[in-house]
Amino acid sequence: MKKFLGLFLLTTILLFGYSQQDYNRLIKEGSCQNCDLSDANLSSLDLSMSELQNSNLARANLYNTNLFEADLSGANLENANLWKANLSFAHLIGVHAKRANFKGVNFQYATLSNSDFRYSVSWKANFSNAKIDKCDFSFSELGGAIFNENYLKNSLLHEAILWKTYFKNVQLTQKQCKDAKEEESIFVNKINCYGE
């Protein structure tokens, strides 16, 4: 019986990945720093103003989750599903978000700094007025995304898909402008294209 119980607990940990204690703490308190929430189902929860710094949210399901003004600095969001999540005014500083799904995410007025978004999918995401600084969007899918009042000059967009991406009052490098035009991006109002 003890062997069976031990095997059951091990299987449960391997299947779900996250710490049940950390999950319970997040649900009860609304915040959980340095927590293991990998593979957790957090879809459609109200986690506005949550403190999730340095937490492991790899492969977590955050579909339609309200993360308004949440602090995700240092979090691991690799392969996480944030489709239609609200990240407006959120803090994403030093975030690891390779291959994460950000389709339709609201990033308005969020702070994105020194973060890795390589290979992520952000179709139709809204980055209006987001403070974007030294982020890597290489090989990411940004088709139909909205960039309005952003400074992208010191972020990487190498090989990013920019098809029908909307740029308004944005600062880009000359190469970023060239690549965006080749991808049939939409340019509105003043677009500043600077040298490398």
Interval 81-139: pLDDT, tens: 999 999 999 999 999 999 999 999 999 999 999 999 999 999 999 999 999 999 999 99
Interval 78-93: pLDDT, tens: 999 999 999 999 999 9
- Across the strands, what pairs with 46? 66
State the Cα–Cα distance between residues 119 and 141, nearest whole angstrom.
7
CA-angle at 84, arms to 133 and 24, nearest 5°: 95
pTM as predicted: 0.90
Interval 161-193: pLDDT, tens: 999 999 999 999 999 999 999 999 999 987 888
Tell the residue number behind the tokens 């609200």, with chain if given.
Answer: 86
In what order do the strands lie in the sheet containing 111-113? 91-93, 111-113, 131-133
Is residue 164 within 8 Å of residue 144, measured between CB atoms? yes
* Nearest CA-CA partner of 87 in 156, 57, 143: 57
Domains of the chain: 1-196 (2.160.20.80)
State the Cα–Cα distance between residues 71 and 92, nearest whole angstrom.
7
Q: Among positive and negative, which fits the CA dihedral 21, 23, 29, 32?
A: positive
